[in-house]
Amino acid sequence: MAKFQFKLQNLLNYKLQLEEQSKLALKKANFELIQKKEELAKTDSELKYINKALIEENLSENQIWLYQEMEKNLTMEKDRLKKEIDNLIQKIDILRKDLLNKTIERKKIERLKEKERERFLYEEQKKEQKEIGDIAIFRYEKPTI
């Protein structure tokens, strides 16, 4: 029996490689999003601490000025992180759609491969049945003299 060879195997391998690259890019973006959210939480806690210190403690003018500057800087950092998180969320959505499209393309080629494989097996089975039939006919034919 002959061996099945898919003519578009190189294309399928390439599509698999593209899909894996998309998965890695998505994982990297998700990891980056988690890091930015952690940074935002840390900045929030620092901001709460400074606000609490400004309200509750008896501070000198220099300390008040220092805490107000720190509060201003942390607020700017918080705004920057929120923008980065929004951008990352948009990037992740784009990467998910890209991964979905690449997965669909790969699956189309895999379905084509499976159909060709089924067609190949069907043709091989037909050849085998014909050979068996020919052998049976040859065996039971009466020799003509």
Q: How far apart are CA 113 and CA 84, in angstroms?
A: 43
pLDDT at 43: 97
pLDDT at 144: 59
pLDDT digits (tens, 9 = 90+) for 120-138: 999 999 999 998 888 888 7
pLDDT at 98: 97
Q: pTM (2 decimals)?
A: 0.76
Q: How far apart are CA 95 and CA 16, in angstroms?
A: 16
Q: In the chain, what percentage of residues exceed pLDDT 70? A: 97
Burial class (CB in 10 A: 0-12, 13-18, 19+), 10: exposed
The residue with tokens 């060879």 is 5
pLDDT digits (tens, 9 = 90+) for 50-104: 988 888 778 888 888 998 999 999 999 999 999 999 999 999 999 999 999 999 9
Q: Which pair of structure tokens corresponds to residue 71?
A: 């509060």
